[in-house]
Amino acid sequence: MHNDDLIPYLLLLGDSALIQGQRLCQWCGHAPALEEELALMNVGLDLIGQARNWLEYAAELLDDGRDADALAFRRDERAFHNLLLVEQPNGDFAVTMTKQFLYDAWHLAMLQGLCASSDPCIAGIAAKALKEVTYHLRRSGEWVQRLGGGTDESRRRMLAAIPALWRFTVELSQGSESETRLAAAGIAADPGQVGQAWLAQVSAIFASVELPQPKPASHFYLSGRKGLHTEHLGLLLAEMQFLPRAYPDATW
């Protein structure tokens, strides 16, 4: 399979984990409780570690002198392939946990498919990440249930968070043509199966606390896979990439 398909796929996985990890780390010093702050940081660090593995493999295939750090800190916004969902601002705690849950449900289904990849490097990275993401999904799903079935205030915030984020889920339920080709070659997870598993997981958690589920999103005018992002990614990258770009030759 040509690297023109595989490299963007690896960047989709790595960039999505990196940006979601960066968003979670923005809660440092601002979480509602110390225990929750530690949990958010741990999940964020898990995702950044996974991002490094995907980006290292992408750098190996690119073979242009860049490593994982260069891919993370020296690319501009249009060169990122992350899901639109993960670049959205944290908002309040309900928004953060809804976003995390929607991403986790997709992420787990994706990794489960990738564990059977014919590419041994992809299968190995996926198997290692699967253990962490299984916990991530259990935790975020429980928070959706806790907030959605909790107080009037927590439910009100959940009812506001879901429709605010739902339009970005079109990328979770639909793959690209290149992903379909990779899946046919046995390298990638089948995007149709991933989408079905994601929707089933989301529907089950929402139904458990009677949270209304919007109709499936079918189209959005931007596409993270194609490097067409919302205005939020550029601001996040400016913060995340400042030091490596300001001091490109610095060493610790």
145-165 pLDDT, tens per residue? Answer: 999 999 999 999 999 999 999
Strand partners, 228: 223
pTM value is 0.96
Q: pLDDT tier at 1 (50, 70, 90 boundaries)?
A: low
State the chain's mean pLDDT as an integer: 96
82 lies in some domain:
yes
pLDDT at 217: 86
83 lies in some domain:
yes
Question: What is the span of the domain harbouring residue 16?
Answer: 3-246
Percent of the chain with pLDDT over 70: 100
Residues 54-82, mean pLDDT to the nearest whole number = 97
Q: pLDDT tier at 75 (50, 70, 90 boundaries)?
A: very high
251 lies in some domain:
no
Residues 157-182, mean pLDDT to the nearest whole number = 96
234 lies in some domain:
yes
171 has pLDDT over 70: yes
192-208 pLDDT, tens per residue? Answer: 999 999 999 999 999 99
Contact by Cβ (8 Å): 189, 180 = no
Q: If 0-12 CB within 10 Å is exposed, 13-18 middle and 19+ buried, where does residue 234 land? A: middle
Cα 168 to chain center, whole Å?
Answer: 12
Residues 34-40, mean pLDDT to the nearest whole number = 91
Alpha carbons 175 and 108: distance in angstroms, whole number: 15
Contact by Cβ (8 Å): 46, 203 = no
Domain count, the chain: 1
252 lies in some domain:
no
Q: pLDDT tier at 250 (50, 70, 90 boundaries)?
A: confident
Alpha carbons 229 and 51: distance in angstroms, whole number: 19
Residues 39-68, mean pLDDT to the nearest whole number = 97
Q: Rg (Cα) of the chain, in Å, rounded?
A: 18
138 lies in some domain:
yes
Contact by Cβ (8 Å): 162, 83 = no
Instruction: Select the highest-mean-pLDDT range: 1-15, 24-38, 80-94.
Output: 80-94
Q: In the chain, which ranges are continuous DSSP H helix?
A: 3-25, 34-62, 68-73, 84-87, 93-114, 120-148, 152-166, 170-173, 177-184, 191-208, 231-240, 242-246
pLDDT at 249: 81
CATH number at 86 reads 1.20.1260.10
pLDDT at 32: 84
Residues 46-70, mean pLDDT to the nearest whole number = 97
Residues 9-19, mean pLDDT to the nearest whole number = 98
Alpha carbons 48 and 42: distance in angstroms, whole number: 10
30 lies in some domain:
yes
Contact by Cβ (8 Å): 103, 171 = no
159 lies in some domain:
yes
pLDDT at 33: 87
